[in-house]
Amino acid sequence: MFTQRLVIRTFIRPCAPIRAAIMLGILCGAATTANAGEMYFTPAVVYADDDQYRQVDDMVGGGQVSFGWVLTDRVSLEGLGGYSWLSGVNDLKIWDASLNLLYSFRPNSNFSPYIIGGLGMTGTDSKVMDAEDSALGTLGVGFMVGFGDSPVSLRLEHRVRSEFENTLTHDDRITSLGLQFAFGREAPTPTPPPIKRDGDGDGDGVPDSRDACPGTPAGTTVDARGCARDSDGDGVIDDQDQCPNTYPAASVDARGCELDSDYDSVVDHLDECPDTRVGARVDVKGCEIHAVINLPGVNFETNSDRLLPGTEQVLSDAAATLRMNKDLVVEIAGHTDSDGSATHNEGLSERRAITVRDYLINEGVNRGNLTVRGYGEAAPIADNATAAGKARNRRVELRILNQR
């Protein structure tokens, strides 16, 4: 009996003209989409067309809120709570709460009709009657219209609410209009671009779509862009570079080797004496060698043949110079100032010369090209009467004897 009354009462009363106008206007909306796992809530205003036995006036007087969870693209589970107040003899107030299932017929179209039904509780209160609570059943139809990719949809619904347990069973017709707000929606997965077949026209291992240097000669070593590799950045590709790992920013020739503009075997960026005369013998810094190679800064502990820290670079440069000029025969001459006895100073200067010789040998200089002699205080180059002069006289120098 309840089912018959519910279905008949749903359709026997025509909608008010204003409702028909609203429905006609909504049909022009944009598409709506339901995504499984999505949630939503829907605040709405209601028009209550109450049972005639309640003896109150129909009116727009109340509202409802629905909270829902999309189970599949067609089925949603939602809870509904509503409240209405109707004027008339009894000045009636009605509340209801229900748990409903909603089924959408066209969930992904621009116009999405649905049916809704469920069970719940309702309560009434008026001036002339005691408050009453009752179980209810509800069944209705509606549709939703979305606004493009917006999470907001317009929702229009008409349902019948029937009481089960009141002294007098009432059937009310509820028309609601609201906005549905979705949340928890997953962003649509972008469609991947079509797979494009790619070739390698020059056979360098880099696909044509990424090859910045098409037509590379066969066998050429290339980088990730497909261009001939130039590891040291000197402008000469690796396959033609005879001097790999050139000094950064150095000027190079067509072979990729750093320039030596004065042809003294010392490349330009290391040459402290550019434009040396052709054929001149030079040291490791590119400066011409004369009769003596000085060793400035080579100092010893007081009255000792132990080298002080800081002399290593000077001796390493001297060793490099001798290795460059393998035919040079040099005398390592040790000198002291005038402090102490002449005999003591001569022995001390010789021991210091031996220390320098051993250092040069350890740096790869041919022992057979080296001789040692201690001159003591016999060959000063400054005045021993001053501290500065004595410091200059305490020295070791390399004297060129001859060329092998």
What's the rounded Cα separation, in Å, for the pair 371 and 361? Answer: 12
Instruction: Name the range with the highest mean pLDDT among 15-29, 123-137, 299-313.
Output: 299-313
Q: In terms of pTM, does the model score above 0.75?
A: no
For the residues of 66-93, what is the DSSP string, one character each?
EEEEESSSSEEEEEEEEEEEE-BSS-EE
What is the reported pLDDT for 19? 44
Q: What are phi and psi of 375, to 5 degrees?
A: -95, -5
Task: Kindly tell me if the per-residue pLDDT of 76 is higher than 80.
Answer: yes
| Cα(33)–Cα(122) distance, integer angstroms | 32
Angle (nearest 5°) at CA 221 between 231 and 197: 120
The pLDDT mean for the chain works out to 81
CB-CB contact of 294 with 285 (8 Å) = no
Between 331 and 90, residue with greater pLDDT: 331
Chain-centroid distance, C-alpha 175: 53
For every residue of 9-23, DSSP letters joined together read HHHHSPPPHHHHHHH
Count CB atoms within 10 A of the CB of residue 323: 15
What's the CA gap between 206 and 286, in Å, rounded?
45
Do 226 and 204 touch, CB atoms closer than 8 A? yes
Query: Which range (13-17, 228-232, 250-254) has the least confidence?
Result: 13-17
- Cα distances from 21 to residues 16, 39, 82, 143, 175, in angstroms, run 9, 29, 24, 15, 14
- Can you say how many angstroms the Cα of residue 301 is from the centroid of all Cα atoms in its chain? 57
pLDDT given for residue 1 in this prediction: 38
pLDDT in tens, 132-141: 788 999 999 9
Q: Which residue has the tokens 């509606």?
A: 142
Structure confidence at residue 98 as a pLDDT band (50, 70, 90): very high
